């Protein structure tokens, strides 16, 4: 079997080949790149593709809105309380607390933590949906209709999540800062006027670009990596569970790795 | 007509299909029988392009599927209807959407023509009343019928059925077999059916090919099958106590 067709069927037998961790990793990366080459293709039917896109935006993103809002508000409040506890220094003006909170939320907490949360929520969803289609021959059915199943199944998910994740992150930033304000207003952490002065100080638009670039890249990583694991599933229900775990673990790991890379590019 | 010439298929160096040469006739139900694990599914998946055979040729009315460019293959695949073993219905779509799907993706029909065609196909398999149900809400026999409706939506020239009555009771099996038989004759399709069910063989086996351990062991008609002196085939045919009982008579 040539490389391409083995990938197409998601079939690689490693049982009789003793491979070490590095070889497995390199093979997975190679297969991932080959799959992405197949994913990036012109949709067969544009109207149907648009419908898929709308569905995916609903399933992958809008359904996460409520939980992300709740997480963001609590996160902002906790960061504010913690920052105030850690920087109790009479030499620093109180409003610096607000500034530190804003930087933490914009730079790391909203884009990275929310994306890791999404890796768990939508990553497992994508991998198990595609994995189930794989083991029940639905993917085969698509292929025998002459449809590029990889592109048909994975591309709408990648585009939908890469488009909407930056939006979710903006909302998360806003609600995180609101949560911090809530801590000041209702728990009296610091005077809210000082907090507001702080979150308005020394604003640099580069920070927002940085957050948005991360949101976009992380969404791409989550959807493509989870799609890859789903597409690689063979066997039955047990394997579907295993690959969706792999999807969550590997996309969370890649998010942290790319966090480092993007930070180096922007600030290094 | 589908012609297979000297087909070989390996998985990890293990030979699954050995030198298969065979012809399947148009307008007939061509059965491939054999024990579980004999290679029926692999053979069918080679025919429809899901697996690559290592050696040999597959000719669809003299068009060589093996030597074709990918694009031409996809065009030829649109002349094929496939009925997978588990039905392979799209879970996220209703019965009607399943039948509409190939029409939306692959035909040039407009919306009302597509609708008519889908309804016609569903009526043909007697499911006009279940259009709005989802695969999880219907029985095994109904799933098979939806899958049949979907596979004939584009008027295929070639129909492939992998164990169409696995998991069904004898009576429902008979209904599915007869449906496939009728459709084959109605549309003059070249139909290939994988089965290990002797009932299907006796009911609709116009040509029968027996596969054993990846080799084509025997080929003939359903009438010849009962009086063959081929030992492997005999042990397959008379495996059930019921058949042994009949034979003794
Ligand atoms: N994807 C695969 N990889 C490796 N071996 C396979 C694969 N598919 C089938 N086989 C092997 O090929 C043989 C024939 O299988 P199959 O065609 O499914 O039998 P059946 O006649 O029951 O349909 C079996 O021994 C099976 O283990
Ligand atoms: Mg089989």
Count Cβ atoms within 10 A of the Cβ of residue A264 and give its class: 0-12 exposed, 13-18 middle, 19 or more buried.
Answer: exposed
Chain A residues lying within 8 Å of B84, measured CB to CB: 137, 140-141
User: Is the pLDDT reported for residue A175 higher than 90?
Assistant: yes
Q: Is it the case that residue B246 has pLDDT exceeding 90?
A: no
Asked whether residue B231 carries a pLDDT value surpassing 50, the answer given is yes
Residues of A with CB under 8 A from a CB of B: 1-2, 5, 9, 13, 16, 44-45, 48, 132-133, 136-138, 140-141, 143-147
pTM: 0.88
The string of DSSP codes covering B135-196 is GGGS-HHHHHHHHHHHHHTT--SEEEEESTTTTS-HHHHHHHHHHHHHHHHHHT-EEEEEE-
* pLDDT score recorded for residue B236: 84
Q: What pLDDT is stored for residue A13 in this prediction?
A: 54
Of residues A86 and A178, more confidently modeled: A178
Segments forming the whole domain that contains residue B98: 86-155
Contact between residue B158 and residue B2 where contact means Cβ atoms under 8 Å apart: yes
> Quick one: average pLDDT of A186-213?
89
Q: What CATH number is associated with residue B37?
A: 3.40.50.300
Residue B99 lies in a domain: yes
Regarding whether B150 and B205 lie in a shared domain, the answer is: no
- Res A12: pLDDT: 53
Mean pLDDT of chain A: 89
Q: Are residues B171 and B210 in the same domain?
A: yes
- CA A61 from centroid of its chain's CA atoms: 11
Q: Is residue B146 part of a domain?
A: yes
3-state secondary structure of A43: coil
Q: Last residue of some domain: B139, B155, B171?
A: B155
Distance, CA of A91 to CA of A94 (rounded, Å): 9
**Chain segment B34-44, per-residue pLDDT in tens:** 999 999 999 99
What is the number of domains present in chain B? 2
- CB B48, CB A144: distance < 8 Å: yes
- What residues does the ion ligand 2 have nearby, CB within 5 Å? B 41
Q: pLDDT by residue (tens digit) across B69-90?
A: 988 998 999 999 999 998 999 9
- Measured in degrees and rounded to the nearest 5, phi and psi for residue A11 equal -110, 110
B174 and B242 share a domain?
A: yes
Domain boundary among B155, B183, B212: B155
Lowest mean pLDDT among A4-13, A53-62, A183-192, B143-152: A4-13
Give me the pLDDT at residue A17, please. 59
Residue (of B224, B168, B234, B171) closest to B195 by Cα position = B168
Is the CA virtual torsion B54, B55, B61, B63 positive or negative?
Answer: positive
- Give CA angle at B148 (B145, B154), nearest 5°: 145
CB contact under 8 A, A2 and B73: no
Q: What are phi and psi of A262, to 5 degrees?
A: -65, -35
* Rounded Cα distance, A127 and A124, in Å: 5
Least confident of A189-193, A247-251, B28-32, B158-162: A189-193
pLDDT at residue A15, rounded to an integer: 53
Together in a domain, B146 and B166: no
pLDDT given for residue A10 in this prediction: 46
pLDDT in tens, B133-150: 999 999 999 999 999 999
Are the Cβ atoms of A145 and B102 closer than 8 angstroms? yes
Is there a contact between B94 and B153 (Cβ–Cβ < 8 Å)? Answer: no
Whether residues B104 and B206 share a domain: the answer is no
Is B137 within a domain?
yes
Question: Looking at residues A253-260, what average pLDDT do you find?
Answer: 96
Q: What is the pLDDT of residue A202?
A: 86
Question: In chain B, at which residue ranges do the beta strands (DSSP E only) sit?
Answer: 2-11, 14-24, 29-33, 55-60, 63-64, 80-83, 158-162, 190-195, 207-212, 215-220
Q: B90 to chain A: which residues are within 8 Å by CB? A: 133, 138, 141
The answer to whether residue B62 is domain-embedded is no
Residue B249 confidence (pLDDT) above 80 = no
B149 touches A at CB < 8 Å: no
- Structural domain boundaries in chain A: 1-39, 46-267
Read off the pLDDT of each residue in B171-175 and give the average, rounded to a whole number: 91
pLDDT at A6: 42
Inter-chain residue contact A143 with B49, CB threshold 8 Å:
yes
Cα B69 from Cα B64, distance rounded (Å): 10
* Count of CB atoms situated within 10 Å of the CB of B137: 11
3-state secondary structure of B28: coil
Q: Same domain for B195 and B222?
A: yes
Identify the CA nearest to A196 among candidates A183, A208, A211, A212.
A183
Interface test with B, best of A145, A152, A234 (most B CBs within 10 A): A145
CA A30 to chain centre: 21
Does one domain contain both B137 and B232?
no
The nearest CA of chain A is from the CA of B34 a distance in Å of 22
Contact assignment for B105 to A45 by CB distance below 8 Å: yes
Nearest CA among B93, B106, B214, B211 for reference residue B154 = B106
Of B71-85, B190-204, B225-239, the one with minimum mean pLDDT is B225-239
Q: Let me know whether B182 and B200 are in one domain.
A: yes
Quote the pLDDT of residue A265: 93
A137: left (phi over 0), alpha (psi -120 to 50) or beta: left
Percentage of chain B exceeding pLDDT 90: 76
> Chain A: nearest CA to B233, how far in angstroms?
30
Does residue B16's CB lie within 6 angstroms of at least one atom of ligand 1? yes
Q: What angle do CA B152, B50, A246 make, to 5 degrees?
A: 115
Q: What is the mean pLDDT of residues A30-37?
A: 95
Kindly state whether residues B137 and B108 are assigned to the same domain: yes
């Amino acid at each position: 079997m040539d490389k391409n067709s083995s990938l197409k069927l998601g079939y690689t037998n490693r049982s009789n080949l003793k491979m070490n961790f590095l070889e497995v990793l390199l093979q997975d990366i190679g297969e991932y790149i080959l799959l992405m080459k197949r994913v990036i293709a012109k949709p067969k039917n544009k109207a149907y593709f648009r419908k898929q896109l709308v569905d995916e935006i609903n399933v992958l993103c809008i359904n996460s809105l409520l939980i992300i809002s709740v997480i963001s508000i609590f996160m902002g409040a906790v960061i504010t309380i913690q920052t105030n506890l850690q920087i109790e220094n009479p030499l620093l003006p109180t409003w610096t607390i607000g500034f530190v909170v804003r930087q933490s939320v914009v730079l790391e907490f909203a884009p990275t933590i929310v994306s890791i949360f999404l890796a768990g929520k939508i990553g497992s969803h994508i991998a198990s949906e595609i994995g189930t289609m794989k083991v029940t021959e639905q993917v085969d059915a698509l292929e025998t209709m002459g449809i590029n199943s990889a592109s048909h199944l994975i591309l709408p998910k990648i585009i939908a999540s890469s488009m909407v994740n930056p939006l979710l992150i903006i909302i998360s930033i806003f609600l995180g800062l609101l949560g911090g304000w809530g801590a000041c207003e209702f728990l009296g952490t610091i005077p809210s006027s000082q907090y507001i002065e702080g979150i308005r100080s020394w604003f640099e638009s580069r920070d927002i670009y940085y957050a948005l670039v991360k949101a976009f890249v992380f969404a791409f990583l989550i959807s493509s990596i989870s799609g890859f694991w789903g597409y690689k599933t063979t066997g039955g229900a047990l394997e579907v569970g295993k690959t969706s775990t792999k999807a969550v673990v590997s996309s969370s790991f890649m998010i942290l790795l790319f966090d480092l890379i993007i930070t180096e590019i922007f600030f290094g | 007509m589908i012609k297979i010439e000297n087909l070989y298929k390996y998985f990890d160096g293990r030979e699954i299909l050995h030198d298969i040469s065979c012809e399947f006739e148009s307008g007939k139900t061509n059965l491939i029988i054999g024990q579980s694990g004999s290679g029926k599914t692999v053979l069918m998946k080679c025919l429809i392009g899901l697996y690559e055979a290592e050696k040999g040729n597959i000719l669809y009315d003299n068009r060589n599927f093996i030597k074709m460019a990918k694009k031409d293959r996809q065009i030829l695949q649109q002349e094929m209807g496939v009925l997978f073993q588990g039905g392979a219905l799209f879970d996220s779509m209703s019965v009607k959407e399943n039948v509409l799907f190939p029409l939306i993706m692959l035909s040039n029909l407009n919306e009302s023509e597509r609708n008519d065609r889908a309804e016609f196909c569903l009526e043909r398999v007697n499911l006009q009343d279940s259009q709005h149900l989802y695969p999880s809400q219907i029985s095994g026999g109904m799933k098979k019928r939806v899958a049949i409706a979907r596979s004939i939506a584009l008027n295929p020239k070639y129909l492939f059925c992998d164990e169409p009555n696995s998991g069904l009771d004898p009576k429902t099996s008979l209904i599915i077999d007869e449906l496939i038989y009728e459709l084959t004759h109605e549309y003059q399709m070249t139909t290939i059916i994988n089965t290990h069910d002797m009932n299907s063989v006796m009911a609709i086996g116009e040509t029968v090919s027996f596969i054993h351990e990846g080799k084509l062991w025997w080929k003939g008609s359903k009438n010849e099958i009962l009086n063959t002196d081929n030992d492997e085939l005999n042990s397959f045919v008379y495996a059930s106590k019921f058949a042994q009982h009949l034979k003794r008579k």
